[in-house]
């Protein structure tokens, strides 16, 4: 693992690191903020998964999360959204290929060799974090924005017992029924829609739900609202009587102005669950 940068922030350290990934077969970059308490022993960790076109850097510099994580004494991890580099498949469209990994393990050509973001987030990166940083892997929570909200929800429900809590900002809630989903799931996983179900938060909510608290915020002026389909997830949560808070925030759009506005509440929500474990 190579250290690219480290900066003092809110009493802790914001670092950026690079390593050779066996899951994606390329170099991967990620950010980690460690609060001051990490110098005394392992701290709980919150994962933040970013959306389409983003790298590790977007949320790290725009979301304002470090101040609230420092206040709560928890670490936050900012992974990249896809494999990158020469030899990694890409597409001219912004919503497929590099920057658009969708947190799945691709099975189709030309994506399969590198686009294994599920394994990277679920297995490889947590193992690396546990070895290299003062992080308590028995206390993990997860959140994300847009495509990353989709990833946070599907990982939380797909890995029972892993995360104390899950939240999302404007997540893609029902990708099997959305143009932000059907295109990518077909490309990465093939035409058999039965293989898509474990990557659709609405279908997973209907089938198994999440054993813990859920918090979701979406803006009423989100320019992608019809693609996100929050109403589908809300209906599934209601039918299942899932413990969840799903809010439509008046006037907010899809930007990081929206994310940063509600970041304090989301981090406090996760801190409550993390410290209860």
Q: Which residues are catalytic?
A: 146, 222, 254
The Cβ-side half-sphere exposure at 103, using a 13 Å CA radius, reads 31
Compute CA distances 200 → 84, 142, 161, whole Å.
Answer: 24, 16, 19
Structure tokens at 139: 């206390």
Structure tokens at 116: 């294994």
Radius of gyration of the chain (CA): 17
| Cα–Cα distance measured from residue 225 to residue 180, given in angstroms and rounded to the nearest whole number | 11
Compute CA distances 226 → 8, 214, 218, 238, whole Å.
Answer: 40, 22, 12, 20
Which residues are paired to 214 by β-bridges? 166, 244
Structure tokens at 140: 């993990």
Q: Is 26:83 a contact under the CB 8 Å cutoff?
A: yes
44 membership: H or E segment, kind and range: strand 43-49
Q: How many helices (H) and strands (E) does the chain have?
A: 10, 9
Compute CA distances 260 → 5, 52, 253, whole Å.
Answer: 23, 17, 12
């Amino acid at each position: 693992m190579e250290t690219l940068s480290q900066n003092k922030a809110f009493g802790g350290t914001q670092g950026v690191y690079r390593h050779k990934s066996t899951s994606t077969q390329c170099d991967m970059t990620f950010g980690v903020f460690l609060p001051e308490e990490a110098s005394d022993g392992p701290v709980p960790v919150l994962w933040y998964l970013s959306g389409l076109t983003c790298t590790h850097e977007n949320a790290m510099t725009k979301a304002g999360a470090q101040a609230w994580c420092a206040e709560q004494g928890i670490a936050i991890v900012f992974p990249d959204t896809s494999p990158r580099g020469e030899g990694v498949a890409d597409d001219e469209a912004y919503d497929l290929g590099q920057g658009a990994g969708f947190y799945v393990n691709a099975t189709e050509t030309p994506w399969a060799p590198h686009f294994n973001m599920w394994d990277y987030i679920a297995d490889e990166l947590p193992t690396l974090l546990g070895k290299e940083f003062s992080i308590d892997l028995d206390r993990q929570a997860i959140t994300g924005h847009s495509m990353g909200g989709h990833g946070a929800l599907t990982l939380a429900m797909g890995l029972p017992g892993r995360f104390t809590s899950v939240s999302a900002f404007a997540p893609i809630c029902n990708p099997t029924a959305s143009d932000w989903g059907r295109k990518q799931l077909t490309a990465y996983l093939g035409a058999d829609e039965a293989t898509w179900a474990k990557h659709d938060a609405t279908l997973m909510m209907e089938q198994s739900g999440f054993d813990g608290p859920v918090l979701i915020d979406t803006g009423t002026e989100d320019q992608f609202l019809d693609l996100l389909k929050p109403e589908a997830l809300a209906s599934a949560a209601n039918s299942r009587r899932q413990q969840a808070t799903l809010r439509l925030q008046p006037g907010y759009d899809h930007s990081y102005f929206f994310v940063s506005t509600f970041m304090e509440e989301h981090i406090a929500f996760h801190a409550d669950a993390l410290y209860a474990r």
